[in-house]
Amino acid sequence: MPPIPTPFSAQVTAEELTDLRARLRATRWPDAPEDAGWSLGSDVDYLRQLVEYWAEEFDWTAQEAALARIPRFRIELGGLGIHFAHVQGVRAAGSTSKAMPLILSHGWPDSFWRYSKVIPLLTDPGSHGADPDDAFDVVVPDMPGFGYSDKPVGAPLNSIDVAGLWAELMDALGYDRFGAAGGDIGSHVSRYLALDFPHRVSAVHRTDAGIPVALPGLELTPAEQRFVDEAAAWNLSEGAYAAMHRTKPQTAAVGLTDSPVGLAAWIVEKLRSWSDCHGDLESSYSKDEILTLVSMYWFTGTIGSSMRMYSANAAIPSAQLARRVEVPSGFALFPGDILHPTREWLDRTANTVHVSEPARGGHFAPFEEPELYAQELRDFFRPFRRTALVE
């Protein structure tokens, strides 16, 4: 008998809120060189302002209530409780078409939060100026060790493992065929869904092609070599966090689990660096939006378990990395994202049938630019709807 989802709601206690505010008010701040700004990491002056707002004005209860309006569930898969949002598409009156099932996979440092703005645009396009026939049945899980999903007790799961869980989840929900989309780690998970379950995934959409790995013996074009070199340069200047996650995640987890300000510094710096905000973080996110994400990590205690997935993914054999996705694949390369793969690389690694370059947006495009992202998914998946619908 397949596992049965049960409704889920979260509620932080008054004691947890009091403890958080006490820790924020007792922060021991580091010094910083004059005019360092963001050049050496998180800007301490900005963090002071954000933390003051967090301690004195931020209303977590209101944000928690807003998230609770999204239908959310838990289900046991592989011995783990998996939290997910599941919203069915709204059909036009008299329409005989069905909504296309679509599973969206997030990355780090986020959770189902990444897609919270875009869910209504995808499930009810008719109410947002789009064609009702483009409606999706949307499923947005928290990966194990992220958000409200359970933390793996033993070895962390890698992207291949999670793809297997997502296939089980879609089966439990009655979706035999479906579309898959994601970014960051979610791009990897979507890739392995397409690789390992090609008979179930009608098409796959990604906002990146991952960090390129030049495998031994691989002959690259000059454009591909430039892409690999750019990725290597980015890793030298920006990849210290990932090296920590891959090698010593527990060391960082001790401080980040104990200090809410340390946690905010670790996450907020990435929000700014990877978004299309041109250095002005709050042009892409309000303080409430930033602190909703950080508070979710704080109250669930998942910063350590989320980082450990990097260690698991680093151990994936190179033979898996070399596999080519044959399922029809689309890519949206947002201008503010970390890396921009060449078309040659996309064609080498996937059956690429669609590449777009939206005008705005970065690594967290579904949250930064939900309308652009929703339209991107509507356009890409439209030709594949018939093969994904469940009778």
Give catalytic residue positions: 184, 310, 363
Of residues 150, 194, 187, the one with CA closest to residue 325: 194
Of residues 239, 291, 110, the one with CA closest to residue 183: 110
- Each residue of 329-351: b (16+ CB within 10 Å) or e? bbbbbbebbbbebbeebbebbbe
φ and ψ of 353, to 5 deg: -115, -5
Report how far residue 299's alpha carbon sits from residue 360's, in angstroms, rounded to the nearest whole number: 32
Cα radius of gyration (the chain): 20
Beta-strand pair 136-141/100-105 = parallel
Q: Which residue pairs, CB below 8 angstroms and at least 24 apart, start in 95-100?
A: 95/132, 95/133, 97/133, 97/385, 98/389, 98/390, 99/123, 99/135, 99/136, 99/137, 100/135, 100/136, 100/137, 100/178, 100/179, 100/381, 100/384, 100/385, 100/388, 100/389
Beta-strand pair 178-182/325-332 = unpaired
- Which residue's entry shows tokens 């060790």? 145
Bridge partners for 137 per DSSP = 101
Q: How many other C-beta atoms lie within 10 A of the C-beta of residue 29?
A: 10
> Is residue 248 classed as helix, strand or coil in its secondary structure?
coil
Report how far residue 154's alpha carbon sits from residue 158's, in angstroms, rounded to the nearest whole number: 12
Report how far residue 86's alpha carbon sits from residue 388's, in angstroms, rounded to the nearest whole number: 17
> Is residue 146 classed as helix, strand or coil in its secondary structure?
coil
Would you list the DSSP string of 11-39?
A: ---HHHHHHHHHHHHT--PPP--TT-TTT
Q: At what angle do helices 303-314 and 249-258 cross, to 10 degrees?
A: 170
